[in-house]
Structure 1
Amino acid sequence: MFKDGAAEIEQLRRQFEGTLNLDHDGETHFYGVTSGRLDFLTSSQGVPDMVLDHKEGVTKLTIPSFFHDLLPMSLPDELQLHLIEIYFTWANPWCPVINEELFRGSMYSGGKYCTPLLLMCIFSMGSRFTDRPEVRSDPASPYTAGRSFLEEAERLLQVELKSPKITTIQALTIMSVLYCAFGYDSACWLHEGMASRLMLEMGLNIDTTPLVASGSMPAEEAMLRRQVYWSLYSVDKLSASYTGRACTMLSFQGAVQMPFVKSGTSLVASRQDESMVFLNSQVKLCQMVEEILLNL
């Protein structure tokens, strides 16, 4: 009797869970039980093979010819590589919203994890860590470093928001940090909030273990979703602490495992592992910060 009752409760719970569905562009989106779209959407399509486009241990330091077609502006190859490398050396470790292995794999194969918008954000953030004058709007003012890239990212964002991807969330997160660096606190708060809302829209707060087990989602995609979710969670706590405002992402809203360390051997893989070790520790601290902020 009790078993039958428990089964009915579990069935009822599942009916109210909602589901993750693939859009026409292969991106995953979440629709709750009250959404009429559930009547004609299915989550059994699986993720196209094209998402499995990353190469293990990419360390090649050249720019492929097709890569220039991604850029909305002309930049010397050497400068592009410099800004990308400096971003992953100094910026991504403390805000690891980008999986470096997947990004570099897509960068050299034309995959989905490297987009013009994300590149502009990386170039802009990387510019904040270099003293090269060519990345400044005003060569005499270090404060303007990366501004032109951020302005281009703003333009690209308006286009990409019509068909957002997980890279859109990554870009919005980086943009929020950039706006803070430029002293635009309102824009920082706004873009971090946009990233949080888009995170919910794409269901990054949902446990994807069953999808991986069924073969509907590649393990790399699931790991990236975890990494982006917890990176954004940490940025939310840092932003709330900085502004003295309420957190917008709360621990109980997500059912997401922490990203794990794969113990890679290449430079890129090792740096990715170090970022995940830091992220795990940072999240624990941010969970404490959440408790403190909620009880003030």
Structure 2
Amino acid sequence: MSTTAVYSAPPNPRKRASVACNGCRVKRTKCDGSQPRCSACYDRQQDCEYTQAESNRKRHTNAYINALEARVASLEKQLAQRNGDPGTPDSAKGSSNCDHEEVTFVSTTQASQPDPNSTTSEEDMDDLTHALGCFTLGEIGELRYFGASSNFSIIHNHAIKVPSSIQARNRGIEAANNMPDFITPSDEMRDHLLEIFWRWQNSWQYIVPRELFVRDLYVEKNGRYCTPSLMAAILAMSSRYSPRLELRTDPDDANTAGEAFAAQAKTMLHYECEAPTTSTVQATALLGLYWATIDNEGLGFMYIGMATRMAMNLGLHCDCSPYASKGLVSDDDVEARNVTFWGVYVLDKYVNRGALTRFEN
């Protein structure tokens, strides 16, 4: 009796995912990335979870890559000019006083040469202060500023670890979503409150650039100029002008209008302050205005002071238009930074905090 050997086709080779699940990452085994459970976790009969935020190999954003490419091109051009013209004076060799410029770069908005007729040392100190201040690029291509008093302004860039604004924002959103009284306004309610904000609030206290915000909200939807925390702060402030009773936590108390939105913004800003962006400054300033309007001036002034400090931390007081001409930042970012800084500056003067005293950039 003859026997026929039966051969089964070899199983398909196990694929390897670009991002392994948590279990395979801990055990350092190959992961095929199958959903809802990868093959390895299925064989081990264990739960399979993917946490993208824990991967250190995640791809940088296009804005960050484009900013780096523009910076490299600018440095190559400067190097070519120096090599081609050995007699170039120092003033034409760039205004940077830092030796290491891979990503961190010194502001070109330095003070002009001191007046030879001046005998005071104050101008010399200002020149040195401006020379040592420097910028670095954040995770999504935004500028982060380190002033002269910071040791980060004179050390190698790779020693500077800028916190992730995206991760901080996501933690704030998650915390707000877990609030028991979290509410999501309808599109009609949102647009109603936004119209009130543009007409009655932002028209005199100009902090949020309307065109950039609206374009991000309805068209681009990338969360650069319209963030959840900023939206919540705007809705909280606008609710003060709206006659709709559903915006109040207590229908009989007008001071409770927008209270739920303010609580959501406060929760999100608690996390965003770890890695603030321009929109974080805007949201903090508006939330400070909100607290001040409901007879809580102390808390309101504190938030406005926080917005002032964050504006300084981001270097909003510095002119970054030279970086826009080099392609390091967009013209939209320049406009957003300028609008935000002067809005916070005027607001700080309005509440008579006196935190901002002198800016020469």
Given the two structures, how large is their TM-score scaled by the length of structure 1? 0.68
Which residue of 9, 18, 21 maps to 2:136?
Answer: 21
**Rounded Cα–Cα distance in structure 2 between residues aligned with 1:29 and 1:185:** 30
**Contact in 2 for aligned 1:121/1:171 (Cα 8 Å):** yes
Counterpart for residue 74 of structure 1: 184
**2:198 matches 1:88:** yes
**Rounded Cα–Cα distance in structure 2 between residues aligned with 1:5 and 1:22:** 26
**Contact in 2 for aligned 1:16/1:32 (Cα 8 Å):** no
**Contact in 1 for aligned 2:141/2:329 (Cα 8 Å):** no
Shift of 1:197: 0.6
The answer to which of 76-85 and 24-33 deviates more is 24-33
Shift of 1:236: 0.7
Q: 1:152 to 1:28 in 2, by over 3 A?
A: same
**Rounded Cα–Cα distance in structure 1 between residues aligned with 2:270 and 2:216:** 23
**Rounded Cα–Cα distance in structure 1 between residues aligned with 2:339 and 2:249:** 33
Q: Report the residue type matching 2:249 in the other structure.
A: S
Counterpart for residue 153 of structure 1: 265
Shift of 1:155: 0.9
Q: 1:217 to 1:128 in 2, by over 3 A?
A: same
3-state SS of the aligned residue for 2:157?
A: coil
Counterpart for residue 157 of structure 2: 41
**Contact in 1 for aligned 2:229/2:268 (Cα 8 Å):** yes
Q: 1:247 to 1:153 in 2, by over 3 A?
A: same
Q: Where in structure 1 do 4 or more consecutive aligned residues deviate above 6 Å?
A: 4-9
Kindly provide the CA deviation profile for residues 70-110 of structure 1, in whole angstroms up to 9, marking residues without a partner as x.
98632222111101111111110111100010001111221
Which residue of 117, 121, 137 maps to 2:233?
Answer: 121
**2:315 matches 1:203:** yes
**Rounded Cα–Cα distance in structure 2 between residues aligned with 1:224 and 1:81:** 22
Q: Of the two structures, which has the highest relative contact order with CA contacts closer than 8 Å and spacing of 6 or more?
A: 1
**Contact in 2 for aligned 1:92/1:98 (Cα 8 Å):** yes
Counterpart for residue 253 of structure 1: 359
Shift of 1:5: 10
Q: 1:254 to 1:106 in 2, by over 3 A?
A: farther
Counterpart for residue 224 of structure 1: 336
**Rounded Cα–Cα distance in structure 2 between residues aligned with 1:35 and 1:145:** 42
Shift of 1:132: 0.3
Q: Comparing both structures, which one devotes a greater share of its residues to helix?
A: 1
3-state SS of the aligned residue for 1:120?
A: helix
Counterpart for residue 100 of structure 1: 210
Q: Percent identity?
A: 27
**Which segments of 5 or more consecutive residues in structure 1 lack a partner in the other structure?**
43-69, 241-245, 256-296
**Which segments of 5 or more consecutive residues in structure 2 lack a partner in the other structure?**
1-88, 98-111, 114-123, 159-175
Alignment RMSD: 2.7
**Rounded Cα–Cα distance in structure 2 between residues aligned with 1:6 and 1:113:** 36
Given the two structures, how large is their TM-score scaled by the length of structure 2? 0.56
User: Which of the pair has more CA radius of gyration?
Assistant: 2
Q: Report the residue type matching 2:134 in the other structure.
A: T
